Structure 1
Amino acid sequence: MAGLTVAAIAAVGFLAYQASANVPDTLGAPRTASSPPASAPKSPRAEQPEAALPGRSGTGQRVVYSVRADRVWLVAANDKVRRTFSVTPGTVDPTPDTYAVTSRSGSITGSDGVAVEHVVRFANVDGTTIGFSAAVDGSTSAPDPGKKLGGIRESRADGDAMWEFATVGTKVVVVE
């Protein structure tokens, strides 16, 4: 009987721990270079160590995207970084500028034919829509260089955080 009680307490503790990892209010503190997520996307560009929020990236609540570092920062209204993560860009980059989230889709098929979720769109470059998304299968492979693709792929966990953070109208600052 005592063995069953110990097993039940252990199971409840484990489930409570898992549930606490999924609280939307806590999008997570910035990760350190020594502890990247197991599902970190592999960038076709050189992998950069985690960097501080770029200077001249605006103020207030915003998404900051560095096309050179292939990195995103989710920045709260108090200018504190709530989360940062690496991404795999498409073949078409947005011009450094300030944009706003224009539309979102829960799940669609991306322009590369991959099922994606939590699509957050913010720009259009010569007819190519630019936005963040996560592949439903978790893949973050490099895009086909022969196609014009504007999807900026993130892990599913990072896609969940982006979805919670970047509603329509949220500022997106693109920097080099």
Structure 2
Amino acid sequence: MAGLTAAALAVVGFLAYQASANVPDSLGAPKAPSPAPSAQASGSPKNESKDPLAVPAHSGTGVRVVYALGDRRVWLVGKQSTPRTFEVMPSTVNPQPGTYTVTSRSGNVPGSDGVPIEHVVRFAKVGGVSIGFSAAVNGSMASPDPNKKTGGVRMKRADGDAMWVFAAIGSKVVVVP
């Protein structure tokens, strides 16, 4: 019985991976940008708060994942009083700043760099490269090979576990500079 269950899970995982590779580009496309609140003075920091771990200003409201490209940091902003935040290792291909939604998820798959990864949460596609958060099974957060086009935003396994629980399909992801 356990063998049948394992085989069924493997087939479902493989089919989910294949389906995610064929998701139309339009599903991960950013929504039309909303008007900018007010112009900032040039030279002002990206994160206007004095606390470098505070959720970036102008990252929206409500429950969301916030990914700050320049800070290499993610915030899981929910109903709790203090959002969870952690460092990430960006991929070689990055999404444009904007608002996205989680389009697909995979439990365990090989990464585009060949490293086994888990808890993949995909939210964008850039030039045919799927962009998503993931954790390497071996726990590494090595810099990606700059000669390869990869879309995996790597995080520690504990952070990957938290992302997996937090970001279901349809969840909002806000990318800020």
**TM-score normalised over the length of structure 1:** 0.70
2:56 aligned partner:
54
Give 1:73's aligned amino acid: W
1:73 aligned partner:
75
Q: Map Cα deviations across residues 102-136 of structure 1 (whole Å, 9 max, x no partner).
A: 00000000000000000000000011100000000
Moved over 3 A (4+): none
Count of paired positions: 127
Cα distance between partner residues in 2 of 1:88 and 1:67: 10
Q: What does 1:84-95 align with in structure 2 at a 5 Å threshold?
A: 84-95=85-96
Unaligned runs of 5+ in 1: 1-48
3-state SS of 1:174 partner: strand
Q: Residues 68 and 166 from structure 1, CA distance in 2 versus in 1: closer, same or farther, beyond 3 angstroms?
A: same
1:105 aligned partner:
106
Q: CA deviation at 1:52?
A: 1.1
Cα distance between partner residues in 1 of 2:129 and 2:162: 24
Cα distance between partner residues in 1 of 2:121 and 2:109: 11
Q: CA deviation at 1:51?
A: 2.4
Cα distance between partner residues in 1 of 2:91 and 2:68: 13
Please say which structure displays the higher CA radius of gyration: 1
3-state SS of 2:143 partner: coil
1:130 aligned partner:
131
Give 1:144's aligned amino acid: D
Cα distance between partner residues in 1 of 2:151 and 2:70: 15
Q: What does 1:160-175 align with in structure 2 at a 5 Å threshold?
A: 160-175=161-176
Q: CA deviation at 1:50?
A: 4.5
| 1:139 matched to 2:155 | no
3-state SS of 1:161 partner: helix
Cα distance between partner residues in 2 of 1:135 and 1:50: 26
Q: Map Cα deviations across residues 25-61 of structure 1 (whole Å, 9 max, x no partner).
A: xxxxxxxxxxxxxxxxxxxxxxxx9421100101110
Aligned CA RMSD, in angstroms, stands at 1.3
Give 1:142's aligned amino acid: S
**TM-score normalised over the length of structure 2:** 0.69
